[in-house]
Amino acid sequence: MVEPFLDALHPARCRLCGGYAGNDLACSEHPLPPEPAPPRCGRCAAGLAPVLPDGAKCVSCRRRSPPFHRAVVLADYRDESVRAWVLALRHGGRVDLAEPLGALLGERLDLEQDGQVDELLVPVPLHRWRRIERGYDQAERLARAAARAAHRSVAPVLSRLRSTAPQGSAGTASRAANVRGAFAARRGARERVLERDVWLVDDVVTSCATVSECARVLRRLGARRVGVLAVARAGADDGRVLRSPV
Ligand SMILES: [Zn+2]
Ligand SMILES: [Zn+2]
């Protein structure tokens, strides 16, 4: 009896579960935090130990400066409700979630850039087999939705040459080795990215090995600056991976 009445007042439904969401995108069970809790690394957005100031560099970034200038993420993957969204999009066949999540990425990008609109969004590519298996490429869907929301353009200029193993258990060095040479530029990529500011888009950034490798390829193609834009960040301050989405 109550729900139709509430619907008339606030018709919004949680995009994840369909439950009552008030004026919001999500119900109280599946909140999407407005931003990940500080302190976070100013370069790669990894969560830092609470004693460190927000924006300080994490151990990995101090050890080796990443090939992207910064990572912007919506949430921390340790957050249970954020994981529910990401896993539904990634493994639950919920391609429809790319639209609201991508729109949030687009809004976030607008805040970052303050009106600069000539940037290119490049999705981190999925291997062809994974794409066939899943039926869609979640990073590409996110990039397209973000581009629509933020009036940017999308260029899927990278391809994944081989399927890389899940990165949850490997150490930093072997994760980097795992993805080395795994990405290549598609035909016409150089013309698209030359002298452009590029944002690499993915659902979850786990170890930074994948986005770093993609950023290197884009820099070699002549991109002016490469940033990383993702729904969630899964790494800890010492480079350890707390939880990998596979
Ligand atoms: Zn819900
Ligand atoms: Zn860092």
pLDDT computed for residue 245 by the predictor: 47
81 CA → ligand 2 middle, Å: 24
Burial class, 194, CB count within 10 angstroms (exposed 0-12 / middle 13-18 / buried 19+): exposed
Domain ranges for the chain: 1-29, 32-233
pLDDT digits (tens, 9 = 90+) for 96-129: 999 999 999 999 998 886 656 689 999 999 988 8
pLDDT computed for residue 167 by the predictor: 53
End-to-end Cα spacing for the chain: 42
Give every CB contact of residue 51 below 8 A, 6+ residues apart in sequence: none
Q: pTM for the full model? A: 0.89
Which CATH entry fits the domain spanning 32-233: 3.40.50.2020, 3.40.50.410, 1.10.357.20, 3.40.50.970? 3.40.50.2020
Residues with CB under 5 A from ligand 1 (ion): 14, 16-17, 19, 27, 29-30
229 CA → ligand 1 middle, Å: 24
210 CA → ligand 2 middle, Å: 14
Tokens of 20: 């009552």
Mean pLDDT of the chain: 88
pLDDT digits (tens, 9 = 90+) for 136-192: 999 999 999 999 999 999 999 999 998 766 555 556 677 778 888 899 999 999 999
Closest CA to 210 of 170, 241, 164: 164
171 CA → ligand 2 middle, Å: 16
pLDDT computed for residue 28 by the predictor: 92
